[in-house]
Structure 1
Amino acid sequence: MTVEAQALDTSPAPSVGASEKTLRVLEAAIMHDRFTDIVEETGLAKATVHRILATLVEQEFITGDADHGYHPGARFLGIAGRAISRLDISAIAEPIVEALVRDVDCTIHVGVVNGFEMVYVIRKDSSKPYRMASRVGLSMPMHCSGMGKVVLASWEPEQVDRLVAAVGLPARTEQTITDPERLHEELARVRARGYALDLGENERGTVCVSAPIRDHLGRVQYGLSISSIALEHPGSSIEELAPQAIAAADAISRALGSTAVGTR
Structure 2
Amino acid sequence: MDTADEETEPGKDRYLVVAAARTLDILDTVAASPNPLTLTEIAASVGLPRPTAHRLVRTLQASNWLERENNYYKVGFKGFQLGAAAGASLEVRTVSLPYLVELRDSLQLNVQVAKLAQWQVVYLERVLSPNSPKLLQARAGAILPAHCTGLGKVLLAHRNLEDVAKWATQEGLEKLTPNTISDVGSLLEALYDIRSRGYGIEDGERQPEVACIAAPLRDFSGEVVAAISATGLRESMPRPLIGSDMADEITRVAGAISQALGYSGTQRTR
Which deviates the most, 253-262 or 121-130? 253-262
Note if 1:247 corresponds to 2:252: yes
2:167 aligned residue: 163
Q: Is the 8 A contact 2:241 2:247 kept in 1?
A: no
Please show how residues 2-151 of structure 1 align to structure 2 within 5 Å: 85=87, 88-128=91-131, 130-131=133-134, 132-151=136-155
Structure-2-length-normalised TM-score = 0.62
Q: Is the 8 A contact 1:217 1:258 kept in 2?
A: yes
Deviation by residue 1:17-76 (Cα, 9 ceiling, x = unmatched): xxxxxxxxxxxxxxxxxxxxxxxxxxxxxxxxxxxxxxxxxxxxxxxxxxxxxxxxxxxx
| Residue ranges of structure 1 left out of the alignment (5+ in a row) | 1-80
User: AA paired with 2:259?
Assistant: R
User: AA paired with 1:251?
Assistant: A
Note if 1:204 corresponds to 2:171: no
2:223 aligned residue: 219
- Shift of residue 254 of structure 1? 1.4
Look up the SS of the partner of 1:144 in the other structure: coil
User: AA paired with 2:105?
Assistant: R
Structure 1 residues 125 and 262 mapped into 2: Cα distance closer, same or farther (>3 Å)?
farther
- Shift of residue 165 of structure 1? 3.0
1:228 aligned residue: 232
Alpha-carbon separation, structure 1, partners of 2:149 and 2:129? 20
User: AA paired with 1:143?
Assistant: H
2:73 aligned residue: none
User: AA paired with 1:94?
Assistant: L
Alpha-carbon separation, structure 1, partners of 2:169 and 2:138? 27
Look up the SS of the partner of 1:231 in the other structure: helix
1:194 aligned residue: 198
User: AA paired with 1:158?
Assistant: E
Alpha-carbon separation, structure 2, partners of 1:213 and 1:262? 11
Give identity over the alignment, percent: 30
Look up the SS of the partner of 2:131 in the other structure: coil
Look up the SS of the partner of 1:201 in the other structure: coil
Q: Is the 8 A contact 1:208 1:238 kept in 2?
A: no
2:178 aligned residue: 174
Structure 1 residues 242 and 197 mapped into 2: Cα distance closer, same or farther (>3 Å)?
same
Deviation by residue 1:205-252 (Cα, 9 ceiling, x = unmatched): 000000001122211121111111012226534752111111111111
Q: Is the 8 A contact 1:117 1:139 kept in 2?
A: yes
1:152 aligned residue: 156
Alpha-carbon separation, structure 1, partners of 2:267 and 2:159? 17
Note if 1:259 corresponds to 2:264: yes
Aligned residues: 183
- Shift of residue 262 of structure 1? 7.6
Alpha-carbon separation, structure 2, partners of 1:141 and 1:148? 7
Which deviates the most, 87-96 or 126-135? 126-135
- Shift of residue 89 of structure 1? 1.8
